[in-house]
Structure 1
Amino acid sequence: MFSLLLLAAIAALTIFLVRMFVRPVSLSSVFRAVFIAPLMILLALPAVAQEAGAPGFIEAILPQLLELLGIVLMFFLTWASARFTRRTGIEIEVRYREAMHSALMTGAHLALNRQLNGPAAIDLIVTHVRQSVPDALGKLKPSENILGRLAEAKLQEAGDKLARELNRVIGS
């Protein structure tokens, strides 16, 4: 029985390795191959103990199995940690970017309400962003030039929106 399970595990690994060189495979299939083959062998151990008839066989092979299980577990934890870090890092960056753009738009509305234009409006918008979302600026680290251009674009966008609203009110 053990021989058949061992041959099945070796065949599965061989097929996987051949496929890996023929075409790219995903990380999940690598994980499955690394995890399933030792699991198949681990499930076959009671059959081995029964065939061998020696009560000390499992005790002799157990340290190697625990080491193999530790390697598989470390691989899985490393993969899960990298995936979690990548996913949460992207989500946090999106939140910071949205907060910065919202603060830019609020600053643009503030500049329009104070009837500012040109460099005075840009300075007001940039100052508002620095005061309202310092964490976002610290993480995203936009240059002064980029921040000024973003402020200018938001001022233009807010002005266009205000002009459309005025046209809508006057037209009706």
Structure 2
Amino acid sequence: MDNLWTALEPHVIELLGLVLTIIIGIAARQLSAWTGIEIQKRHREALHEALMSGAMSAIKHGPGVGLGTLKAHAIAHAHQSVPEAVKALVPGDGILDAIAERYVRDALKKLDQPAIADR
């Protein structure tokens, strides 16, 4: 029995090393995916908060200027407030505009301002 164990021991150790390497690789991949998701989530939340505060700021400085101007102010505010989030998320054409419009309209409702047309 000792001879059998002596003959198999290097192979068993090699097999255990391989199994541990695979487990560590899977764990590292999962951790990387999880942290990437968390970072993206934080960027997304920061961008939305910047668009909301930009919309409120724009409306307080002149709600009658038109929807296009208010959206542009909110988007410019987001670019200045969280440039790393904008750079990391790379929102496609019209995405920031659509989100900004939503927040501008929400801010107008909160301040009891009449709905404005896009001008």
TM, length-normalised to structure 2? 0.84
Aligned to 1:65: 12
Shift of residue 157, structure 1, vs aligned partner: 1.0
Matched to 2:42, the amino acid is R
1:136 lines up with 2:85 in the alignment: yes
Shift of residue 153, structure 1, vs aligned partner: 0.8
Q: Is the 8 A contact 1:122 1:148 kept in 2?
A: yes
* Alignment gaps of 5+ in structure 1: 1-51, 165-172
**Which structure carries more relative contact order (alpha carbon 8 Å, separation 6+)?**
2
Q: Supply the distance in 1 between the matched residues of 2:111 and 2:37 (Cα, whole angstroms).
A: 33
Deviation track 1:96-153 (CA, whole Å, cap 9, x = no partner) reads 1110000000100110111143221111111111111111111111024111111111
1:90 lines up with 2:37 in the alignment: yes
* Alignment gaps of 5+ in structure 2: 114-119
Q: Is the 8 A contact 1:111 1:117 kept in 2?
A: no
Aligned to 1:120: 69
Shift of residue 58, structure 1, vs aligned partner: 3.3
Identity in percent: 36
Provide the secondary structure at the position in 2 that maps to 1:104.
Answer: helix
Aligned to 2:98: 149
Q: How does 1:22-101 map to 2 (within 5 A)?
A: 52=1, 54=2, 56-101=3-48
Q: Is the 8 A contact 1:104 1:126 kept in 2?
A: yes
Count how many residue pairs are aligned between Structure 1 and Structure 2: 111
TM, length-normalised to structure 1? 0.60
Q: Which runs of 4+ in 1 moved over 3 A?
A: 56-59
Q: Computing the radius of gyration over CA atoms, which structure comes out larger, 1 or 2?
A: 1
Provide the secondary structure at the position in 2 that maps to 1:143.
Answer: coil
Q: Is the 8 A contact 1:105 1:154 kept in 2?
A: yes
Q: Supply the distance in 1 between the matched residues of 2:73 and 2:21 (Cα, whole angstroms).
A: 52
Q: Supply the distance in 2 between the matched residues of 1:106 and 1:127 (Cα, whole angstroms).
A: 11
